[in-house]
Structure 1
């Protein structure tokens, strides 16, 4: 019996299943659609945390305190996500990936749509904040079940000289989701009177998010439920394993995998959520203008993500992450001050930040997943992603805004610098462990 090469395996993935062919291109589309829907949810909530919730949910405190409270609730999703992974992994093992995805995406969409019905503080008092926190945790819990393994499937099927290219495809969902969310809020803020926007206009994007989740569900189920997909997962041993067993056998890889992308995940919020809060609170600039700057900068981010695929295949993914961490460290030393330099400074900050983010974030997904043993790769990759988002991004807007307000914008740069250093340390430790295991 001959053994297929990775490239041949990619080509033969289109094995017929009841008349339907599953191709690598379809998997890539499923990944991008799924990630775009998740990030759209993410950015809709993030933008509302700045423009809506401080006034609607926390009107009895200062705008700054209300925004900090909103960012604290924002972080709850990242705390809930690992628990969702634990529960939904059990569902995956018992009932299959299709059942898990259906339940998780309807819970995600339901939690998102429920936020649209949250009344303000003037109606139910502190209960408004309680409901918002509950639904936000529902979003995070559901996200733990949206891990479908498609990105891992792409990675293991990719030819050795094309791994960087395939690795960047799922990451395109982030800037795409941001562009759609920013433009939608731009339209609503610019066309509605402020009273109407705060009363009902802000709720519309959350309904849109639910609709997009339904589309994403069917796009992913179309692939997940096919026999060819299931056989490919079984062939590659990308099946869910017990959480505790995975942690016990692969905790070192999980820890290093969580910290390796810390620089890019910290930068992620430093150029998306935090700048909007700073500009909205401390400048006279309209949020419409800055949302448009974000959308334009995200286009540069898309180009940088695509470029990261070519560069990673030429120089190596870990080399790319290390180089980008150094670049992010340099960026942290001067760039945050540009947010106080008017429209031109803000534009430079956002475009430079998104270019750096695209290059690093494009290769940050599953950098160390290949070091898991095959039996634990699927579950280990999910846990690594949960922890990377929790440590790198979950509290970034809250911490960055607090530090900048009390100690100046350079303090937020110091926070970003700590993420870059954590990435360099994690990559260095992983290299040493790899050398030792080879001896």
Structure 2
């Protein structure tokens, strides 16, 4: 289990590195390089628009790779998704800017971002199911949390490279070629991830199935549409919270508050490191007390903390901004440290790869794709403190809280059965 979980963690770290490095670049440099005819705010909005395309592609990737996972096994998904995401990320680092090829530059950026999202949409389901379906029932939360540490590790790697380049290069060097280096590094990381995954065993739950779904998506839509909508709505707050902290706040603080780019990256990275370290703790608590109670607690904490977080961000003081980000990400990990065990337990085995991945990535469209765009637009119309952003995030948190309240508890249910207990208030 340890070897399997570490391989899943390494793969998700590499794939989320690819995804996050684009978000950081969108916040810092892609606007003026690929949309130079726009105003600064419009350029940032356009860059975040290409960022959002990756989230729109993720549910499509979960359908494509979920079909493969439910028909042919979880293991092939891990290899194919990693190859697609790694190759498209390296290609982003090679795209000429608007000054060189005109409008073809943002179009290429858009296409490659779509392919990134397509690959990541398949990655999560394959990695999580392989660990969840191998894990013993009483420790499923703990072992399934390993892939959930991957996003934090990938974010730290992506922003660590950006931070090092930002601190050592001049603004002109960073804008000229420095921002491309993290994208090129994705090729090395993808090769390492493929090597780690080359000898993984197939999921025992998949091998035990007597009959596989012919068209998994059709079964999910017909028999589990309500569950997919509830899980997508429930997870929206996690995505909104994470990308408000890691992407929107980076652009807002550097452009509107004049905070040094290196300082902002350091504040965000420190909060994400703590978030990653606390992920196994949330998972262990879910093995003891249940998945749903932790999700409800994290959601409620997020709803309460949005206005204080925006107030602390608006000070421009590093320690206060770090505190705001830290509490927000603790609320986040209370939910998302549990999700890797919770979602597989909600869906029956024959459509689990498709259902769990579609629900998970639908939350990304609702919360992750729109948040940087909406927050940037709202902040541009706000006064000194963007309270409208806080109101928007609080609204998403309340929506997700209602969705979690309608989902059942699953802790005592084996992933082989996946018939959850009735929901209790």
Deviation at 1:244, TM superposition (A): 1.5
CA distance in 1, matches of 2:9, 2:399: 28
Cα gap change, 1:237 to 1:306, in 2 (>3 Å): farther
**Residue equivalent to 2:355:** 380
**Residue equivalent to 2:177:** 200
**Residue equivalent to 1:235:** 208
Cα gap change, 1:404 to 1:240, in 2 (>3 Å): farther
1:280 aligned to 2:283? no
CA distance in 2, matches of 1:328, 1:166: 25
Conservation of the 8 A alpha-carbon contact between 2:270 and 2:322: no
Pick the aligned partner of 2:141 from 145, 148, 164. Answer: 164
What pairs up with 1:82-101 in 2 under 5 angstroms? 82-91=59-68, 99-101=76-78
Deviation at 1:341, TM superposition (A): 0.9
1:49 aligned to 2:23? no
Gaps of at least 5 residues in structure 2 are 410-418
Conservation of the 8 A alpha-carbon contact between 2:315 and 2:321: yes
Deviation at 1:25, TM superposition (A): 1.0
CA distance in 1, matches of 2:313, 2:53: 27
Conservation of the 8 A alpha-carbon contact between 1:336 and 1:349: yes
Cα gap change, 1:89 to 1:429, in 2 (>3 Å): closer
CA distance in 2, matches of 1:80, 1:28: 26
Conservation of the 8 A alpha-carbon contact between 2:231 and 2:363: yes
CA distance in 2, matches of 1:261, 1:383: 11
What pairs up with 1:387-402 in 2 under 5 angstroms? 387-402=362-377
Pick the aligned partner of 1:131 from 101, 108, 112. Answer: 108
Q: CA RMSD in A?
A: 2.5
**Normalising to structure 2: TM-score of the pair?**
0.89
Conservation of the 8 A alpha-carbon contact between 2:408 and 2:421: yes
1:339 aligned to 2:300? no
**Normalising to structure 1: TM-score of the pair?**
0.87
**Residue equivalent to 1:60:** 37
Deviation at 1:272, TM superposition (A): 1.0
Deviation at 1:57, TM superposition (A): 0.6
Deviation at 1:190, TM superposition (A): 1.3
Gaps of at least 5 residues in structure 1 are 1-23
**Residue equivalent to 1:371:** 346
Pick the aligned partner of 2:238 from 243, 259, 264. Answer: 264
Structure 2 counterpart SS, 1:330: helix
CA distance in 2, matches of 1:117, 1:363: 37
Structure 1 counterpart SS, 2:106: helix
Equivalenced residues, count = 411
CA distance in 2, matches of 1:363, 1:210: 30
1:187 aligned to 2:164? yes
Query: Rg bigger for which structure?
Result: 1
CA distance in 1, matches of 2:214, 2:369: 26
Q: Which one is further off, 120-129 or 354-363?
A: 354-363
